[in-house]
Amino acid sequence: MEKAAAERTSADEAAAEETAAEEAVTEETAAEETAAEEAAIEETVTEETGSEETAADEAAAEETAPEESASEKENPQGLTSGVRQLVPREAAAAVEALFPEEPAQGTTAGEAPSAAGETEQDPAEEPQQEIGGEETARENPDLAISSPSAVLMEVSTGTILYEKDAHEARSPASITKIMTLLLIFQELEAGNITLDEMVTTSAHAKSMGGSQVYLEEGEQQTVETLIKCIVVASGNDASVAMAEHIAGSEEEFVSRMNQEAERLGLENTHFEDCCGLTESTGHYTTAADVAVMSRQLVERYPQVLEYSSIWMENITHETRQGTTEFGLTNTNKMIRTYEGCVGLKTGSTSVAKYCVSSVAQRDGMTMLAVIMAAPDPKTRFADAAVLLNYGFGSCSLYVDEDTAPGAPAEVKGGVEEEVSWKYEEPFRYLDTGGAALDAVEKELEIRQVKAPVKKGDVVGRAVYRLNGQEIGSIRLISSQEVRKAGYGDALKKAAGYLIAGVRL
């Protein structure tokens, strides 16, 4: 790898600059150095044939200047509280110290295994809010975001709070694995696989370069372990092993990824592999589409955050060569440096540059920041932090917790005279104007329905108002079936009344 260094020759310049960054953005497809190696490695920018800065080095030595002092852990540069919204430049300054300039470091495929390894080549009747981000809260705020493409979304409502060139098709690198993980969790939900099921590594899976966990051909690991390898250490080999286990081949799995993208309405997304290692122009997505697939994963399968929030964990390799421990370290340094960050996935290659889909939770809200094509890792994380901080500082979320059903709806012409109901889904309202959400009022509008009534039929709606203005509504649906009354039912009812009258 070539190192471009600019040395100062005069004595007063001797203490000045680090080695100049190479013109080519380092390609994160090779695994990164172990924590111990990173601590000692010189701060040069290598052309990582496919590997981002290791998260392991962040665990051990994290650049020359420490990122977190004791005071920063309690209140890291104003980023740990949603009470005050930082103005753009103030926010940018706040994250400057949080994510100091760093070179992209890594190893080639032939070098020693990393303890972590972002390598990445590094929803009538819509179905359960499948498509996120249809609603934009207001015009873009003036934020100091230098990355080419960015999106900020509040996850539970799908509200887009900020976007910048969000529909520009770009190479996604390892954030490709968000779709891979979505399909894996769908298989778990369907019962087609289980977390403790064993997966055997193929020669093809073993051959993956870039970020990897160094699986050997024939080696077996559980589905759960491989999920950790994918989401924590960005293992390309683990991604392919899971793809083959689920679909029989990586090609078939990728076909399913594209089918899911089409189902979600992702018109500017197409995949050619399951890990993001490829640099093909046929493998692309957008920041807006990444936000949608990320929301799908987090909303439908929140357990993924239990894995993506892991900072460090060991796995055990059991092969013909023996048993060895291998350390996974999260490639997303915001897990450790940004309060409430619980995921989700990073990625980078020489073509994609630096990308991240970052999820953070505070004050009952879940914010999602997507950054694509950042020029360097520091900018990637700093821009994500600015977006998240803006979201938490400017938004309040109202959630209707009182969803107990009220008086039943009247049924006309049914064997039953009334039917019980329930809320179709929880009501959430995201305010971005500083309104007092304790002033939200709810009114139930329940109508008479005609038999037959099917389970799920609409019987009314709950209307929500703030300061007299409607801010939204939720449909109320039947929680049971009511059959239409026939002639025999009418006779039975009449006989019942007659008997009751005789008794009186």
Please give the pLDDT value at position 486.
Answer: 82
CB 28 within 8 A of CB 51: yes
Please give the pLDDT value at position 46.
Answer: 32
Please give the pLDDT value at position 142.
Answer: 87
Best CA proximity match to 474, nearest among 415, 419, 400: 400
How many C-beta neighbours within 10 Å does residue 44 have? 18
DSSP string, 271-289: -SSSSS----TT-BB-HHH
DSSP string, 396-415: EEEE-------SPEEEESBS
Please give the pLDDT value at position 491.
Answer: 66
The CATH code that applies to domain 409-487 is 2.60.410.10
Catalytic residue among 156, 234, 348, 478: 234
What are 56's two structure tokens? 């392991």
174 is catalytic: yes
Catalytic residue among 174, 202, 348, 394: 174
422 is catalytic: no
450 is catalytic: no
Enter the pTM of the model: 0.73
Best CA proximity match to 116, nearest among 292, 276, 346: 346
* CATH 2.60.410.10 domain extents, the chain: 409-487
What are 184's two structure tokens? 């894996």
Under-50 pLDDT residues of the chain? 1-134
User: Which helix (H) or strand (E) segment is 247 a member of?
Assistant: helix 236-247
Sign of CA dihedral 315, 317, 318, 324: negative
Catalytic residue among 164, 177, 333, 353: 177
What are 317's two structure tokens? 């390799």
What are 99's two structure tokens? 């994510």
378 is in an annotated binding site: no
How many C-beta neighbours within 10 Å does residue 203 have? 9
CB 350 within 8 A of CB 24: yes
Please give the pLDDT value at position 135.
Answer: 55
